[in-house]
Amino acid sequence: MIESLQHLPPAAGSNGELASQFTDLAPPLTARQAAVEAARCLYCYDAPCMNACPTGIDVASFIKNIHDGNIDGAAHGILKANIFGGSCARVCPTEILCEDSCVRNNPSEREPVRIGLLQRYAVDNANFTSHPFQRAPATGKVIAVVGAGPAGLSCAHRLAMLGNDVVVYEARPKAGGLNEYGIARYKLPGDFAQREVDFLMSIGGIHIEYGRKLGENLSLAELHTRYDAVFLGIGLGASRALGLTGEDAPGLMAAIDYIAALRQASDLSTLPVPRRAVVIGAGNTAIDMAVQIKRLGAEDVTLVYRRGLESMSATGHEIEIAKANYVRIRTWAAPLEVLLDESGRVSGMRFEQTRMEEGRLVRTGGYIEIAADAVFKAIGQSMSEDGLQESLARELARDGDRIQIDSRFRTALPGIYAGGDCVALGQDLTVQAVQHGKLAALSIHEDIQARISATTEAAWPT
């Protein structure tokens, strides 16, 4: 945890000065800007932007509503497909999804319609007098959801819409998952993540129990017996290890742990900040870590990746953010050794230079040493095994560290479903987790209703 950095000095500057470094990455559109941007949309009949959206938002329709001044209608259409439409408008890599598919995304047009900012404008400026969706008649069924992240809460909301009651079990003190604990503070500033959770919960029929962790004070077997169905949205909570000696030394920690502490800090000036930092990784989390530690006052931040720039999983947009914040990016270097000072604390990292030979990454025998007061690893997350040790949980079919599911989000255990990062291979995007939760809820509801129908039919005399 962040205790690993307690020997470092706190951030320089007052909380107010530091907080000014974490305002909105992209300022919202004004009403005039939104009107002008909406007018650029061609409202394509086959809408390639909609096909590129993992949650299937009807992009052309909501932009047309903005153009016509129907902001509530625009927001309703967005939230019907994606209840996390507000946060996704801020954190979604629209540059590789909807905006990349926009027909105006060509050299003569200069840029696509700014769909993400228009989506944010609609959701932020909607003026609903009550929750925009009404619950269906009560089914009398109660479903357990494990994990109050985007997948779990999306599932819970859709189940509640369909008339079911839902109990959500969350290990942490707050709901929101990565939106609350894992996204760069400048992408979701302030209390936006919690306000979005409050809005979602206002539909009714959802109860959250905090401090309940699978494998500690929560049993999958008990949930399976007690509820009509169980949805696992447990994410990937464990940071992968480098496998190097000295990995537990003061000064080396997982990027996700520091990002969580940064997001929860009420006074940024209390956070320990290194003068020189190394971030190991190539994804958006690595970029988030590098940029934020630079904004907190680190003088020299180097992001190191073992392959080339073109192989980084971070989007081009994220890489440009890193460059704009003076983050140095060093490629073709694989971690080799944690360097320690006489007190056993991190003093740098030694890397071995790499290159591609016949399609394989090989080490060259050349070495690079980078001095650092702190090293942050952002080499991906894996599923925590703590919650999957009981006998029933061990019956879940696995694909590496992911839970196997069928096309309807069913696991190998009847009545237990899963979705989000704990099953998805690929980019592990918030928007994908939201879609998983939504589709899983539909499967859960339909399966329960089908069982009821089968039982009813069997009860009729032949």
User: Would 137 be classed as within a structural domain?
Assistant: no
Instruction: Check pLDDT > 90 for residue 257.
Output: yes
Summarize pLDDT for 265-278 with one digit per residue, the tens.
Answer: 999 999 999 999 99
User: Would 206 be classed as within a structural domain?
Assistant: yes
pLDDT at site 462: 57
Q: Output phi, psi for 147, to 5 deg.
A: 110, 115
Rounded-to-integer distance, Cα 114 and Cα 116, Å: 6
Same-domain status, 311 and 249: yes
pLDDT at site 458: 67
Same-domain status, 115 and 55: yes
User: Would 332 be classed as within a structural domain?
Assistant: yes
Same-domain status, 244 and 368: yes
Same-domain status, 393 and 285: no
Q: What value does the mean pLDDT of the chain take?
A: 94
Summarize pLDDT for 96-135 with one digit per residue, the tens.
Answer: 999 999 999 888 888 999 999 999 999 999 999 999 999 9
Same-domain status, 260 and 372: yes
pLDDT at site 454: 78
pLDDT at site 1: 59
Instruction: Check pLDDT > 70 for residue 238.
Output: yes
**What is the domain count for the chain?**
3
User: Would 4 be classed as within a structural domain?
Assistant: no
The residues pairing with 117 across neighbouring beta strands, listed in sequence order, are none
Same-domain status, 372 and 275: yes
* Top-confidence residue, 388 or 277: 277
Same-domain status, 248 and 360: yes
User: Would 130 be classed as within a structural domain?
Assistant: no
Rounded-to-integer distance, Cα 458 and Cα 52, Å: 44
Summarize pLDDT for 61-93 with one digit per residue, the tens.
Answer: 999 999 999 999 999 999 999 999 999 999 999
Same-domain status, 189 and 248: no
Q: Which of 360, 381, 402 represents a domain boundary (last residue)?
A: 381
Rounded-to-integer distance, Cα 274 and Cα 258, Å: 12
Same-domain status, 157 and 252: no
Q: Which of 381, 399, 430 represents a domain boundary (last residue)?
A: 381
Q: What CATH number has the domain bearing residue 119? A: 1.10.1060.10
User: Would 136 be classed as within a structural domain?
Assistant: no
Domain hosting residue 60, numbered range: 23-125
Same-domain status, 155 and 82: no
Strands 276-281 and 374-378: parallel
pLDDT at site 389: 83
Summarize pLDDT for 289-320 with one digit per residue, the tens.
Answer: 999 999 999 999 999 999 999 999 999 999 99
Same-domain status, 266 and 370: yes
Q: Which of 329, 356, 381 represents a domain boundary (last residue)?
A: 381
pTM: 0.94
Same-domain status, 192 and 287: no
Q: What CATH number has the domain bearing residue 308? A: 3.50.50.60
User: Would 18 be classed as within a structural domain?
Assistant: no
Instruction: Check pLDDT > 80 for residue 250.
Output: yes
Rounded-to-integer distance, Cα 164 and Cα 325, Å: 47
Question: H-helix or E-strand containing 417?
Answer: strand 416-418
